[in-house]
Amino acid sequence: MPTQRLQQLLQQLNEEIRELDESNLEEKKRLEALIAEIETALTQDEAEHASLLDSLRAKLVEIDSEHPTASGVMRRLMQALGDMGI
């Protein structure tokens, strides 16, 4: 069940990224890369999970003021990962 919630949150984050203004193309690319990193890390061993959470925290600080909805989704994503023991 937690994996299903995680997939829902990743989908929601993808939707938020698609809605970003085209003038934010660089930001869109960085967020898309972060999603790819999350998806890859979920298939890796636990050693990769710590760096994933560090990346999420750093990205959250960067986007918090400009994209509050996306950062809210990222917070829920981090909570879901924590609930899964990641």
Answer yes or no: is pLDDT of 3 > 70: no
* Rounded Cα–Cα distance for residues 57 and 55 (Å): 5
Condensed to tens digits (0 to 9), the pLDDT of residues 23-77 reads 778 878 888 887 887 788 777 766 666 777 777 778 777 777 777 777 788 888 8
Considering the entire predicted model, what is its pTM?
Answer: 0.59
Q: Give the pLDDT band of residue 1 (cuts 50, 70, 90).
A: very low
* Rounded Cα–Cα distance for residues 60 and 79 (Å): 13
